[in-house]
């Protein structure tokens, strides 16, 4: 269900017709038993009820694996059998478990790297796809922050990059990536991500763009991409060894390391 649809039985891929594939996918996304009338209405909207039920029976029969369904004779509410493994169910289980998994462990986050059937356009799949998308991205972002806090910087950056790749315009994903770079001490990469996000927003809205990510950086002309001059919030990543000083003429503050002021670039 994640990335593309595949049904495997006894190690072999099972070819399915369009209607059978839609039926199995629907039941994989909706694990509770489904009444025939409601199921047919979702799968074949606009089709008369009697015709929809007939199409449903034909689709279920054409699967050719009676044990795939919890009701083998297909007369009662339909659902997948309890022993059918669904990658979406595994991914949702991982989302629920991640907050309890220590940062020192390395679960298979790859389950959270893909959307539900991205090429499918039916209304029933679009709703579930977006719901899962929000859940998985939030889980990946939170995991990235936990890894940063634990000093696992490479893993934190990789997870945040996964979130940005999945949703380039999502501010929380960019924030997680910038914070991961800063925690790692890679200031240049953090500024590059800020620049890339600013340019994305500017090109999408057709004019000057603004966001709250500049507060992650100390106010300083060292990074000309920054516009605001707000104090860095407590939640922002601190940059060790840097302090702000004001020029002799009362000008803008600069970042200095040790006793010498750095030169703007």
Report the 3 state secondary structure along 9-66: ECCEECCCCHHHHHHHHHHHHCCCCECHHHHHHHHCCCCCHHHHHHHHHHHHHHHCCH
According to CATH, the topology of domain 1-85 is: Arc Repressor Mutant, subunit A (1.10.10)
Identify the sign of the CA torsion 121, 122, 125, 127. Answer: positive
What's the pLDDT at 230?
35
Query: Are the CB atoms for 162 and 140 separated by under 8 Å?
Result: yes
Query: Are the CB atoms for 1 and 87 separated by under 8 Å?
Result: yes
Nearest to 108, CA basis, from 85, 82, 83, 136: 136
Pick the CATH number of 87-203 from 1.25.40, 1.10.287, 3.30.230, 2.30.30: 1.25.40
Q: Is the pLDDT of residue 263 over 50?
A: no
Q: Is 250 left (phi over 0), alpha (psi -120 to 50) or beta?
A: left
Q: What is the pTM of this model?
A: 0.77
Read off the pLDDT of residues 126-177 as tens digits, 9 standing for 90 and up: 999 999 999 999 999 999 999 999 999 999 999 999 999 999 999 999 999 9
Residues of the chain with CATH 1.25.40: 87-203
Using CA atoms, how far apart are residues 260 and 253, in angstroms rounded to an integer? 13
Residue 193: strand, helix, or coil: helix
Using CA atoms, how far apart are residues 112 and 144, in angstroms rounded to an integer? 13
Residues of the chain with CATH 1.10.10.10: 1-85
Q: How many residues does the chain have?
A: 265
Q: Is the pLDDT of residue 235 over 60?
A: no
Using CA atoms, how far apart are residues 25 and 117, in angstroms rounded to an integer? 9
């Amino acid at each position: 269900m994640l990335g593309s649809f595949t049904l495997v039985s006894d190690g072999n891929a099972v070819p399915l017709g369009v209607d059978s594939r839609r039926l199995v996918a629907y039941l994989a996304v909706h694990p509770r038993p489904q009444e025939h009338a409601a199921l047919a209405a979702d799968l074949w909207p606009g089709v008369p009820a009697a015709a929809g039920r007939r199409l449903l029976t034909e689709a279920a029969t054409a699967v050719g694996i009676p044990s795939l369904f919890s009701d083998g004779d297909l007369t009662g509410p339909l659902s997948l059998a309890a022993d059918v493994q669904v990658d979406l169910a595994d991914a949702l289980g991982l989302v629920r478990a991640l907050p309890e998994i220590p940062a020192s462990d390395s679960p298979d986050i790859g389950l959270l790297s893909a959307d539900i059937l991205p090429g499918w356009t039916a209304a029933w799949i679009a709703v579930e796809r977006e719901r899962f998308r929000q859940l998985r991205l939030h889980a990946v972002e939170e995991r990235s922050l936990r890894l940063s806090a634990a000093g696992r910087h490479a893993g934190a950056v990789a997870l945040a990059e996964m979130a940005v790749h999945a949703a380039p315009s999502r501010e929380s994903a960019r924030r997680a990536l910038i914070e991961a770079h800063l925690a790692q001490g890679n200031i240049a990469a953090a500024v590059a991500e800020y620049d890339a996000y600013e340019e994305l927003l500017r090109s999408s809205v057709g004019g000057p763009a603004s966001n709250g990510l500049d507060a992650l950086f100390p106010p300083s002309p060292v990074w000309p991409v920054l516009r605001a001059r707000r104090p860095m919030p407590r939640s922002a990543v601190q940059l060790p060894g840097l302090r702000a000083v004001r020029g002799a003429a009362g000008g803008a503050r600069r970042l200095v390391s040790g006793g010498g002021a750095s030169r703007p670039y």
